[in-house]
Protein backbone atom coordinates (compact mmCIF):
# COMPACT_ATOMS: atom_id res chain seq x y z
CA UNK A 1 0.00 0.00 0.00
CA UNK A 2 1.41 3.39 -0.93
CA UNK A 3 0.96 6.28 1.37
CA UNK A 4 -0.76 9.36 0.05
CA UNK A 5 2.31 11.55 0.57
CA UNK A 6 4.33 9.36 -1.81
CA UNK A 7 1.95 9.86 -4.70
CA UNK A 8 3.00 12.50 -7.21
CA UNK A 9 1.10 15.68 -6.69
CA UNK A 10 -0.61 16.51 -9.97
CA UNK A 11 -1.04 20.17 -10.74
CA UNK A 12 -2.43 21.98 -13.74
CA UNK A 13 -0.09 23.75 -16.07
CA UNK A 14 -0.05 27.46 -15.58
CA UNK A 15 0.90 30.03 -18.20
CA UNK A 16 2.78 32.98 -16.78
CA UNK A 17 3.40 36.21 -18.62
CA UNK A 18 6.80 37.62 -17.68
CA UNK A 19 7.11 41.17 -18.93
CA UNK A 20 7.13 43.24 -21.16
CA UNK A 21 7.32 45.58 -18.19
CA UNK A 22 8.90 43.66 -15.36
CA UNK A 23 11.50 44.94 -12.90
CA UNK A 24 13.75 41.93 -13.50
CA UNK A 25 13.93 42.21 -17.27
CA UNK A 26 15.65 45.64 -17.31
CA UNK A 27 14.18 46.42 -20.66
CA UNK A 28 11.10 45.57 -22.64
CA UNK A 29 11.22 41.79 -23.03
CA UNK A 30 8.33 39.42 -22.82
CA UNK A 31 8.58 35.75 -21.96
CA UNK A 32 5.59 33.43 -21.95
CA UNK A 33 6.36 30.64 -19.52
CA UNK A 34 4.52 27.41 -18.96
CA UNK A 35 4.85 26.34 -15.35
CA UNK A 36 4.29 23.08 -13.62
CA UNK A 37 4.23 24.04 -9.98
CA UNK A 38 7.25 26.32 -9.84
CA UNK A 39 9.20 24.55 -12.58
CA UNK A 40 9.37 26.12 -16.00
CA UNK A 41 8.56 23.52 -18.65
CA UNK A 42 8.56 25.79 -21.67
CA UNK A 43 9.53 29.39 -22.28
CA UNK A 44 8.83 31.42 -25.39
CA UNK A 45 10.60 34.76 -25.54
CA UNK A 46 8.83 37.46 -27.52
CA UNK A 47 10.92 40.39 -28.63
CA UNK A 48 10.51 43.41 -30.84
CA UNK A 49 8.93 45.83 -28.37
CA UNK A 50 11.76 48.30 -28.94
CA UNK A 51 12.17 47.75 -32.66
CA UNK A 52 12.97 51.16 -34.07
CA UNK A 53 14.28 50.42 -37.55
CA UNK A 54 17.87 51.49 -36.93
CA UNK A 55 19.06 49.50 -39.91
CA UNK A 56 16.57 51.19 -42.22
CA UNK A 57 17.61 54.58 -40.86
CA UNK A 58 21.23 53.77 -41.62
CA UNK A 59 20.46 53.66 -45.32
CA UNK A 60 19.42 57.30 -45.13
CA UNK A 61 22.12 58.78 -42.91
CA UNK A 62 25.71 59.31 -43.97
CA UNK A 63 28.64 57.62 -42.30
CA UNK A 64 29.22 60.29 -39.65
CA UNK A 65 25.53 60.83 -38.91
CA UNK A 66 24.87 57.17 -38.19
CA UNK A 67 27.32 57.21 -35.27
CA UNK A 68 24.67 59.02 -33.22
CA UNK A 69 22.32 56.08 -33.86
CA UNK A 70 24.87 53.54 -32.65
CA UNK A 71 24.81 55.22 -29.21
CA UNK A 72 21.24 54.11 -28.79
CA UNK A 73 21.87 50.41 -29.43
CA UNK A 74 23.79 49.19 -26.43
CA UNK A 75 23.16 52.11 -24.13
CA UNK A 76 25.33 50.67 -21.37
CA UNK A 77 28.51 50.91 -23.41
CA UNK A 78 27.83 53.35 -26.26
CA UNK A 79 31.51 54.04 -26.84
CA UNK A 80 32.12 50.45 -27.91
CA UNK A 81 29.36 50.82 -30.52
CA UNK A 82 30.79 54.13 -31.77
CA UNK A 83 34.21 52.55 -32.17
CA UNK A 84 32.84 49.43 -33.86
CA UNK A 85 30.92 51.43 -36.46
CA UNK A 86 33.83 53.77 -37.13
CA UNK A 87 36.11 50.76 -37.65
CA UNK A 88 33.71 49.21 -40.14
CA UNK A 89 33.38 52.46 -42.10
CA UNK A 90 37.14 52.95 -42.07
CA UNK A 91 37.74 49.44 -43.35
CA UNK A 92 35.24 49.99 -46.15
CA UNK A 93 36.71 53.33 -47.19
CA UNK A 94 40.29 52.29 -46.51
CA UNK A 95 41.33 54.98 -44.01
CA UNK A 96 44.12 54.43 -41.54
CA UNK A 97 43.73 56.42 -38.34
CA UNK A 98 46.53 57.78 -36.17
CA UNK A 99 48.07 55.83 -33.34
CA UNK A 100 46.81 58.29 -30.74
CA UNK A 101 43.26 57.80 -31.99
CA UNK A 102 43.55 54.07 -31.60
CA UNK A 103 44.97 54.31 -28.09
CA UNK A 104 42.20 56.66 -26.98
CA UNK A 105 39.62 54.33 -28.54
CA UNK A 106 41.08 51.40 -26.62
CA UNK A 107 41.01 53.41 -23.40
CA UNK A 108 37.37 54.41 -23.93
CA UNK A 109 36.28 50.90 -24.90
CA UNK A 110 37.87 49.42 -21.82
CA UNK A 111 36.33 52.04 -19.53
CA UNK A 112 32.94 51.19 -21.07
CA UNK A 113 33.62 47.52 -20.53
CA UNK A 114 34.30 48.17 -16.83
CA UNK A 115 31.11 50.21 -16.49
CA UNK A 116 29.05 47.63 -18.39
CA UNK A 117 30.36 44.63 -16.45
CA UNK A 118 30.00 46.35 -13.07
CA UNK A 119 26.43 47.33 -13.87
CA UNK A 120 25.64 43.85 -15.16
CA UNK A 121 27.01 42.15 -12.06
CA UNK A 122 25.20 44.71 -9.92
CA UNK A 123 21.89 44.09 -11.70
CA UNK A 124 22.32 40.33 -11.37
CA UNK A 125 23.02 40.81 -7.69
CA UNK A 126 20.06 43.08 -7.04
CA UNK A 127 17.71 40.68 -8.84
CA UNK A 128 18.91 37.93 -6.52
CA UNK A 129 18.57 40.13 -3.46
CA UNK A 130 22.12 41.37 -2.92
CA UNK A 131 21.62 45.12 -2.77
CA UNK A 132 25.07 46.11 -1.49
CA UNK A 133 27.03 44.79 -4.46
CA UNK A 134 24.66 46.64 -6.76
CA UNK A 135 25.19 49.94 -4.99
CA UNK A 136 28.98 49.52 -5.02
CA UNK A 137 28.97 48.87 -8.75
CA UNK A 138 26.45 51.58 -9.55
CA UNK A 139 28.40 54.27 -7.71
CA UNK A 140 31.52 53.45 -9.69
CA UNK A 141 29.60 53.46 -12.91
CA UNK A 142 28.66 57.05 -12.13
CA UNK A 143 32.34 57.92 -11.71
CA UNK A 144 33.14 56.31 -15.06
CA UNK A 145 30.27 58.16 -16.72
CA UNK A 146 31.77 61.36 -15.33
CA UNK A 147 34.98 60.43 -17.16
CA UNK A 148 32.97 60.04 -20.36
CA UNK A 149 31.37 63.41 -19.75
CA UNK A 150 34.76 65.06 -19.37
CA UNK A 151 36.00 63.57 -22.64
CA UNK A 152 32.91 63.53 -24.84
CA UNK A 153 30.58 66.12 -23.32
CA UNK A 154 27.76 63.69 -22.52
CA UNK A 155 27.24 60.71 -20.29
CA UNK A 156 25.17 58.37 -22.41
CA UNK A 157 24.85 59.48 -26.02
CA UNK A 158 28.55 59.93 -26.49
CA UNK A 159 28.93 59.92 -30.32
CA UNK A 160 32.65 60.24 -29.67
CA UNK A 161 34.12 58.76 -32.81
CA UNK A 162 34.10 60.06 -36.35
CA UNK A 163 35.01 58.19 -39.47
CA UNK A 164 38.76 58.74 -39.50
CA UNK A 165 39.26 59.69 -35.89
CA UNK A 166 37.61 61.19 -32.86
CA UNK A 167 35.37 64.15 -32.24
CA UNK A 168 37.91 65.77 -29.91
CA UNK A 169 41.09 64.95 -28.07
CA UNK A 170 41.05 64.02 -24.39
CA UNK A 171 41.65 67.10 -22.19
CA UNK A 172 44.91 67.84 -20.36
CA UNK A 173 45.31 66.06 -17.07
CA UNK A 174 42.75 63.40 -18.05
CA UNK A 175 45.15 60.60 -17.07
CA UNK A 176 45.18 61.68 -13.46
CA UNK A 177 41.40 61.63 -13.21
CA UNK A 178 41.20 58.24 -14.93
CA UNK A 179 43.91 56.71 -12.73
CA UNK A 180 42.08 57.88 -9.63
CA UNK A 181 38.88 56.16 -10.79
CA UNK A 182 40.81 53.02 -11.80
CA UNK A 183 42.26 52.73 -8.29
CA UNK A 184 38.73 52.93 -6.97
CA UNK A 185 37.57 50.26 -9.46
CA UNK A 186 40.36 47.98 -8.26
CA UNK A 187 39.20 48.36 -4.68
CA UNK A 188 35.50 47.92 -5.43
CA UNK A 189 36.06 44.84 -7.60
CA UNK A 190 37.71 43.21 -4.61
CA UNK A 191 34.89 44.38 -2.36
CA UNK A 192 32.19 42.93 -4.63
CA UNK A 193 34.03 39.63 -4.91
CA UNK A 194 34.50 39.47 -1.16
CA UNK A 195 30.80 40.06 -0.71
CA UNK A 196 29.63 37.51 -3.25
CA UNK A 197 32.15 34.79 -4.11
CA UNK A 198 31.85 32.74 -0.95
CA UNK A 199 28.36 33.86 -0.04
CA UNK A 200 26.25 30.75 0.50
CA UNK A 201 23.05 32.25 -0.87
CA UNK A 202 24.81 33.68 -3.92
CA UNK A 203 26.40 30.32 -4.68
CA UNK A 204 23.11 28.46 -4.29
CA UNK A 205 21.34 30.87 -6.59
CA UNK A 206 23.99 30.91 -9.32
CA UNK A 207 25.94 27.64 -9.34
CA UNK A 208 24.67 24.98 -11.77
CA UNK A 209 22.01 27.35 -13.07
CA UNK A 210 21.67 27.83 -16.80
CA UNK A 211 24.59 25.70 -17.90
CA UNK A 212 25.74 26.20 -21.50
CA UNK A 213 27.94 23.44 -22.88
CA UNK A 214 30.82 24.22 -25.22
CA UNK A 215 29.08 22.66 -28.24
CA UNK A 216 25.84 24.51 -27.55
CA UNK A 217 27.71 27.78 -27.22
CA UNK A 218 29.22 27.34 -30.69
CA UNK A 219 25.96 26.14 -32.24
CA UNK A 220 23.98 29.05 -30.80
CA UNK A 221 26.61 31.58 -31.84
CA UNK A 222 27.31 32.65 -28.26
CA UNK A 223 30.21 35.06 -27.95
CA UNK A 224 31.95 37.25 -25.41
CA UNK A 225 32.04 36.55 -21.68
CA UNK A 226 29.23 34.00 -22.01
CA UNK A 227 31.25 31.89 -24.44
CA UNK A 228 34.39 32.26 -22.37
CA UNK A 229 32.51 31.06 -19.29
CA UNK A 230 31.77 27.87 -21.26
CA UNK A 231 35.42 27.26 -21.95
CA UNK A 232 35.77 28.69 -25.44
CA UNK A 233 39.11 30.44 -25.67
CA UNK A 234 38.06 33.16 -28.04
CA UNK A 235 38.55 36.85 -27.55
CA UNK A 236 38.51 39.02 -30.66
CA UNK A 237 40.90 41.45 -28.96
CA UNK A 238 43.51 38.69 -28.85
CA UNK A 239 42.61 36.39 -31.75
CA UNK A 240 41.80 39.03 -34.37
CA UNK A 241 43.31 42.19 -32.88
CA UNK A 242 41.95 45.56 -34.03
CA UNK A 243 42.85 49.08 -32.89
CA UNK A 244 46.33 47.93 -31.81
CA UNK A 245 45.05 45.64 -29.06
CA UNK A 246 48.15 43.57 -29.84
CA UNK A 247 50.29 46.31 -28.21
CA UNK A 248 48.73 45.59 -24.84
CA UNK A 249 49.55 42.90 -22.36
CA UNK A 250 46.49 41.27 -20.80
CA UNK A 251 45.01 37.84 -20.13
CA UNK A 252 41.77 36.34 -21.35
CA UNK A 253 39.45 35.17 -18.57
CA UNK A 254 38.16 31.62 -19.08
CA UNK A 255 35.88 29.47 -16.94
CA UNK A 256 34.78 25.92 -17.57
CA UNK A 257 31.34 25.22 -16.11
CA UNK A 258 29.29 27.66 -18.18
CA UNK A 259 26.78 28.46 -15.42
CA UNK A 260 25.64 31.82 -14.08
CA UNK A 261 28.34 31.81 -11.41
CA UNK A 262 31.09 31.31 -14.00
CA UNK A 263 29.75 34.09 -16.17
CA UNK A 264 29.89 36.35 -13.15
CA UNK A 265 33.48 35.30 -12.41
CA UNK A 266 34.56 35.88 -16.03
CA UNK A 267 33.04 39.37 -16.00
CA UNK A 268 34.80 40.27 -12.75
CA UNK A 269 38.13 39.05 -14.10
CA UNK A 270 37.59 41.01 -17.31
CA UNK A 271 37.13 44.16 -15.24
CA UNK A 272 40.57 43.53 -13.72
CA UNK A 273 42.14 42.96 -17.13
CA UNK A 274 40.47 46.10 -18.46
CA UNK A 275 42.04 48.11 -15.65
CA UNK A 276 45.40 46.77 -16.80
CA UNK A 277 44.73 47.77 -20.41
CA UNK A 278 43.56 51.26 -19.40
CA UNK A 279 46.71 51.84 -17.37
CA UNK A 280 48.94 50.65 -20.23
CA UNK A 281 47.06 52.81 -22.69
CA UNK A 282 47.57 55.90 -20.54
CA UNK A 283 51.26 55.09 -20.05
CA UNK A 284 52.02 54.53 -23.70
CA UNK A 285 49.70 57.25 -25.07
CA UNK A 286 51.48 58.64 -28.14
CA UNK A 287 51.25 62.26 -29.21
CA UNK A 288 49.61 63.29 -32.44
CA UNK A 289 46.36 64.25 -34.10
CA UNK A 290 43.11 62.47 -33.40
CA UNK A 291 41.60 62.96 -36.84
CA UNK A 292 42.92 62.26 -40.31
CA UNK A 293 43.50 65.23 -42.59
CA UNK A 294 40.05 66.80 -43.29
CA UNK A 295 41.34 68.01 -46.65
CA UNK A 296 40.89 64.48 -47.98
CA UNK A 297 37.13 64.86 -47.70
CA UNK A 298 36.61 61.96 -45.33
CA UNK A 299 36.62 63.39 -41.86
CA UNK A 300 34.93 66.35 -40.25
CA UNK A 301 37.37 69.06 -39.10
CA UNK A 302 37.57 69.82 -35.34
CA UNK A 303 34.75 72.05 -34.09
CA UNK A 304 37.26 74.73 -32.99
CA UNK A 305 38.38 75.18 -36.55
CA UNK A 306 34.85 75.13 -37.92
CA UNK A 307 33.79 78.02 -35.70
CA UNK A 308 37.00 80.01 -35.79
CA UNK A 309 38.51 79.69 -39.26
CA UNK A 310 37.21 80.00 -42.78
CA UNK A 311 39.10 76.91 -44.00
CA UNK A 312 37.57 74.80 -41.27
CA UNK A 313 34.10 76.01 -42.19
CA UNK A 314 34.67 75.29 -45.88
CA UNK A 315 35.93 71.77 -45.12
CA UNK A 316 32.95 71.18 -42.87
CA UNK A 317 30.55 72.11 -45.66
CA UNK A 318 32.51 70.07 -48.17
CA UNK A 319 32.00 66.97 -46.05
CA UNK A 320 28.41 67.51 -44.96
CA UNK A 321 26.71 68.86 -48.10
CA UNK A 322 24.41 66.30 -49.72
CA UNK A 323 26.15 66.32 -53.09
CA UNK A 324 29.68 66.29 -51.64
CA UNK A 325 31.35 64.38 -48.91
CA UNK A 326 32.89 60.99 -48.91
CA UNK A 327 32.67 58.68 -51.87
CA UNK A 328 33.51 55.22 -50.61
CA UNK A 329 34.36 52.42 -53.04
CA UNK A 330 31.64 49.97 -54.06
CA UNK A 331 31.97 46.96 -51.82
CA UNK A 332 31.25 45.60 -48.38
CA UNK A 333 33.03 45.21 -45.09
CA UNK A 334 32.27 43.27 -41.92
CA UNK A 335 34.26 44.22 -38.85
CA UNK A 336 33.88 42.21 -35.64
CA UNK A 337 34.81 43.81 -32.34
CA UNK A 338 34.77 42.55 -28.78
CA UNK A 339 32.06 44.51 -27.02
CA UNK A 340 31.24 43.84 -23.35
CA UNK A 341 28.42 41.50 -24.43
CA UNK A 342 30.25 39.64 -27.15
CA UNK A 343 30.95 39.94 -30.81
CA UNK A 344 29.59 43.27 -32.00
CA UNK A 345 30.00 43.52 -35.74
CA UNK A 346 28.97 46.10 -38.28
CA UNK A 347 28.41 45.01 -41.84
CA UNK A 348 28.32 47.89 -44.29
CA UNK A 349 27.49 47.51 -47.96
CA UNK A 350 28.24 50.52 -50.11
CA UNK A 351 27.12 51.41 -53.61
CA UNK A 352 29.51 54.36 -53.84
CA UNK A 353 27.13 57.00 -52.47
CA UNK A 354 27.66 59.14 -49.40
CA UNK A 355 25.10 57.08 -47.48
CA UNK A 356 25.68 53.33 -47.05
CA UNK A 357 23.49 50.95 -49.06
CA UNK A 358 22.93 48.62 -46.14
CA UNK A 359 24.01 48.75 -42.51
CA UNK A 360 23.71 45.62 -40.46
CA UNK A 361 24.53 45.32 -36.79
CA UNK A 362 25.49 41.91 -35.51
CA UNK A 363 23.82 42.27 -32.13
CA UNK A 364 25.41 40.14 -29.40
CA UNK A 365 22.34 40.60 -27.18
CA UNK A 366 19.94 39.05 -29.71
CA UNK A 367 22.14 36.10 -30.51
CA UNK A 368 23.10 35.40 -26.90
CA UNK A 369 19.45 35.67 -25.84
CA UNK A 370 18.27 33.05 -28.34
CA UNK A 371 19.55 30.26 -26.08
CA UNK A 372 17.40 31.47 -23.16
CA UNK A 373 14.42 29.16 -23.68
CA UNK A 374 16.76 26.16 -23.67
CA UNK A 375 18.51 27.35 -20.50
CA UNK A 376 15.42 27.98 -18.40
CA UNK A 377 13.71 24.67 -19.20
CA UNK A 378 13.54 22.54 -16.08
CA UNK A 379 14.66 25.33 -13.77
CA UNK A 380 12.60 27.11 -11.14
CA UNK A 381 10.78 30.32 -11.95
CA UNK A 382 13.04 32.21 -9.55
CA UNK A 383 16.04 31.25 -11.70
CA UNK A 384 14.70 33.26 -14.62
CA UNK A 385 16.04 36.62 -13.34
CA UNK A 386 19.43 35.00 -12.67
CA UNK A 387 19.67 33.66 -16.21
CA UNK A 388 18.41 36.84 -17.88
CA UNK A 389 20.81 38.86 -15.75
CA UNK A 390 23.77 36.70 -16.70
CA UNK A 391 22.96 37.01 -20.43
CA UNK A 392 22.88 40.82 -20.09
CA UNK A 393 20.15 41.51 -22.62
CA UNK A 394 20.08 45.15 -23.69
CA UNK A 395 16.71 45.81 -25.29
CA UNK A 396 17.97 48.64 -27.49
CA UNK A 397 20.45 46.34 -29.15
CA UNK A 398 18.16 43.32 -29.08
CA UNK A 399 15.45 44.95 -31.20
CA UNK A 400 17.32 47.80 -32.90
What is the binding site for other proteins (CB under 8 A)? 47-48, 51, 53, 55-57, 59-60, 91-92, 94, 216, 218-221, 223, 232, 234, 239-240, 331-334, 336, 343, 345, 347, 349, 351, 357-358, 360, 362, 366-367, 370-371, 399
**Which contacts of 213-218 are long-range, i.e. CB under 8 A and separated by 24 or more positions?**
213/258, 214/258, 216/371, 216/374, 217/258
Could you give the dihedral angle defined by the CA atoms of residues 114, 118, 124 and 126, in that order, rounded to the nearest 10 degrees? -160
Closest CA to 256 of 219, 217, 203: 217
319 and 313 Cβ atoms separated by less than 8 Å:
no
Closer residue to other proteins, CB minimum distance, 38 or 46 = 46
Phi, psi (degrees; rounded to nearest 5) at 174: -65, -35
Closer residue to other proteins, CB minimum distance, 373 or 382 = 373
Closer residue to other proteins, CB minimum distance, 179 or 366 = 366
Closer residue to other proteins, CB minimum distance, 137 or 328 = 328
Minimum distance, C-beta of residue 92 to other proteins, in the bound complex (Å): 7
Phi, psi (degrees; rounded to nearest 5) at 45: -75, 140
Closer residue to other proteins, CB minimum distance, 30 or 272 = 30
Minimum distance, C-beta of residue 400 to other proteins, in the bound complex (Å): 8
Characterize the bridge pairing of strands 30-36 and 358-362. unpaired
Closer residue to other proteins, CB minimum distance, 155 or 214 = 214
Closer residue to other proteins, CB minimum distance, 272 or 358 = 358
Amino acid sequence: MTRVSELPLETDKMVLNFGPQHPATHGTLRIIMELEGETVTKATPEIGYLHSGFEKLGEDLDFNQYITITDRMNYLSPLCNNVAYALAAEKLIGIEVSQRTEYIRVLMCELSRIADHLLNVGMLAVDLGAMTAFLYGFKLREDIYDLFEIATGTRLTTSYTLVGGLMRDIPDGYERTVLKVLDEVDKVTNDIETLLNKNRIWQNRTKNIGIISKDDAISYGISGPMARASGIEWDIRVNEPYSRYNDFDFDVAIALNGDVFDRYLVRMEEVRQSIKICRQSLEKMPAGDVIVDPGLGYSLPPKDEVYNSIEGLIYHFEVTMPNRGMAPPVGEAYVPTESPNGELGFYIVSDGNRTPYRVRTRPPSLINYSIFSKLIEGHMLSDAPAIIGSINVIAGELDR
